[in-house]
Amino acid sequence: MANEDKEIETIPVGPLGLVPLKSCEGLGKKVNDYLVQWRSARQSEHKNTIAFAGYQRDSYIIDTQISRFGTGEGKGTILQTVRGGDLFLMVDVCNHSLTYSLCGMTNHMSPDDHFSDLKRIIMAAAGKARRINVIMPFLYESRQYKRNGRESLDCALALHELVNMGVENIITFDAHDPRVQNAIPLKGFETVQPIYQFIKAILAAEPELRVDAEHMMVISPDEGGMSRAIYFANMLGLDVGMFYKRRDYTRLVGGRNPIVAHEFLGADVAGKDVIVVDDMISSGESVQDVARELKRRKAGKVFICGTFGLFTNGLTRFDRYYEEGLIDRVFTTNLVYQSPELLSRPYYVSVEMSKYIALLIDSLNHDTSISELLQPSERIHRVLEKHRAAQAAGKQG
pLDDT band at 223 (very low <50, low <70, confident <90, very high): confident
Q: Are 109 and 98 in contact (CB under 8 A)?
A: yes
pLDDT of residue 3: 64
**Range with the lowest mean pLDDT among 30-34, 111-115, 254-258, 342-346?**
254-258
pLDDT band at 45 (very low <50, low <70, confident <90, very high): low
Question: Global pTM?
Answer: 0.91
pLDDT digits (tens, 9 = 90+) for 84-131: 999 999 999 999 999 998 888 999 999 999 999 999 999 999 889 999
pLDDT band at 1 (very low <50, low <70, confident <90, very high): very low
Cα gap 107→114, rounded to integer Å: 13
Residue 122 DSSP symbol = H
pLDDT of residue 2: 54
Q: Per-residue pLDDT for 50 more than 90?
A: no
Neighbours of 350 (CB within 10 A): 15
Cα gap 196→245, rounded to integer Å: 29
Q: Are 114 and 127 in contact (CB under 8 A)?
A: no
What's the whole-number mean pLDDT along residues 156-166? 95
